[in-house]
């Protein structure tokens, strides 16, 4: 390995080990359990080294400290990393409104990148909020700001709301 090469190792827990438990929790309860450490972080959060979950009904916040391993060949955080964080925040905001036995999937994600992000940008905060929830779809937005409070990226997302086969029936 040369002086400029870096190495990184991470571990994760198989998410399939907790699927049954997740089906019995409302979306908000699941997110709060993740935040407290009662449930293991999803593998993608370990991969990106994303931090914390602050969840309330219809609103979720995550954080990411930009690192070199997030960089593209131009020396800025790859747009895919930023998009993943925005998608996570928007979709989890939708999830925070769902009862046990109901899940979601992202239908679309529209991202606007407003400024480059580097390690000098400092901690990024990504907040997702539900704009509108219907019976089968929900619209959410997410905003990512740097340490100085400058908006670095924004996204809107549509999610399809799904019944989870074999999960507890939603409360009436």
| Residue whose C-alpha is closest to residue 121's, from 95, 85, 91 | 85
Domains annotated on the chain, with CATH = 18-163 (3.10.129.10)
State yes or no: pLDDT of 170 exceeds 60.
no
Q: What pLDDT sits at residue 61?
A: 98
State yes or no: pLDDT of 172 exceeds 50.
no
Kindly report, residue by residue over 39-95, the tens digit of the pLDDT: 998 999 999 999 988 999 999 999 999 999 999 999 999 999 999 999 999 999 999
Distance from C-alpha of 86 to C-alpha of 28, rounded to nearest angstrom = 18
pTM for this entry: 0.90
Whose tokens are 């019995």? That residue is 24
Kindly report, residue by residue over 21-33, the tens digit of the pLDDT: 767 899 999 999 9
List Cα–Cα distances, 162 to 43, 98, 104, 121, in angstroms. 22, 10, 5, 37
Most confident range (mean pLDDT) of 14-18, 111-115, 159-163 is 111-115
Our measurement of the distance from residue 50's CA atom to the centroid of its chain's CA atoms, rounded to an integer in Å, reads 9
Q: What pLDDT sits at residue 165?
A: 61
Distance from C-alpha of 137 to C-alpha of 36, rounded to nearest angstrom = 29
Is the Cβ–Cβ distance between 17 and 57 less than 8 Å? no
- 144 — phi, psi (to 5°)? -115, 125
| Residue whose C-alpha is closest to residue 85's, from 65, 107, 63 | 63
Q: What pLDDT sits at residue 129?
A: 98
Q: What pLDDT sits at residue 164?
A: 63
Kindly report, residue by residue over 124-144, the tens digit of the pLDDT: 999 999 999 999 999 999 999
Question: How confident is the prediction for the chain on average, in pLDDT?
Answer: 91
Give 39's DSSP letter: S
Distance from C-alpha of 137 to C-alpha of 120, rounded to nearest angstrom = 38
Confidence band (pLDDT; 50, 70, 90) for 109? very high
Give 121's DSSP letter: G
């Amino acid at each position: 390995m040369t002086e400029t090469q870096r190495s990184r190792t991470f571990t994760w827990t198989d998410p399939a080990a907790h699927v049954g438990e997740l089906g019995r929790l409302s979306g908000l309860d699941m997110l709060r359990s993740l935040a407290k450490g009662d449930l293991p972080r999803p593998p993608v959060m370990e991969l990106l080294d994303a931090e914390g979950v602050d969840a309330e009904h219809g609103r979720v916040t995550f954080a990411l400290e930009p690192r070199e391993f997030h960089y593209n060949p131009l020396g800025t955080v790859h747009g895919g990393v930023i998009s993943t964080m925005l998608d996570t925040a928007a979709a989890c905001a939708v999830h925070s409104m769902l009862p046990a036995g109901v899940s979601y999937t992202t239908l679309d994600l529209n991202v606007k990148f407003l400024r480059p992000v580097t390690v000098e940008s400092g901690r990024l905060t990504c907040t997702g909020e539900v704009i509108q929830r219907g019976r089968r779809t929900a619209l959410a937005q997410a905003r990512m700001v740097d340490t100085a409070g400058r908006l670095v990226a924004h996204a809107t997302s549509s999610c399809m709301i799904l019944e989870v086969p074999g999960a507890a029936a939603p409360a009436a």
